[in-house]
Amino acid sequence: GAVVSQHPSRVICKSGTSVKIECRSLDFQATTMFWYRQFPKQSLMLMATSNEGSKATYEQGVEKDKFLINHASLTLSTLTVTSAHPEDSSFYICSAMIGSDSYEQYFGPGTRLTVT
């Protein structure tokens, strides 16, 4: 099946710094990627939809200036958490879709962010 990777798998940063998380589709081209956030013992919450070559679409309540998304190529989307705070500590998961007419999404392994 299609493989999606994320890097890093876990990161610890100090409050006020920025952290970049990469999401790559390894064996397919993904015109659309999605970013989710998951707090402990909760479900995944959609943060934004990332389309290659265009601006990301953010869900209500998600600050676009704080969570910068760049989808520069058909295999790479990045999420940058700017000026991170402890409340941003979470599990961040990306997913990618094969083609615009697909119903199936492939998820990355997730990135555990801890802000101290």
- Written as six digits, the tokens of 1 are 């099946």
Cβ-based nearer residue to other proteins, 8 or 16: 8
Considering the rule CB under 8 A, would residue 28 count as an interface residue with other proteins? no
Residues 36-75 that bind other proteins (CB under 8 A): 36, 43-46, 49
Choices 13-21, 65-73, 79-87, 102-110 (CB under 8 A): range interacting with other proteins: 102-110
Tokens 């869900």 label which residue? 59
CA-to-CA distance for 37 and 52, rounded, in angstroms? Answer: 20
- Written as six digits, the tokens of 79 are 């999420």
CA-to-CA distance for 93 and 99, rounded, in angstroms? Answer: 19
Where does this chain bind other proteins (CB under 8 A)?
1, 4, 6, 32, 34, 36, 43-46, 49, 91, 93, 95, 97, 99-110, 112
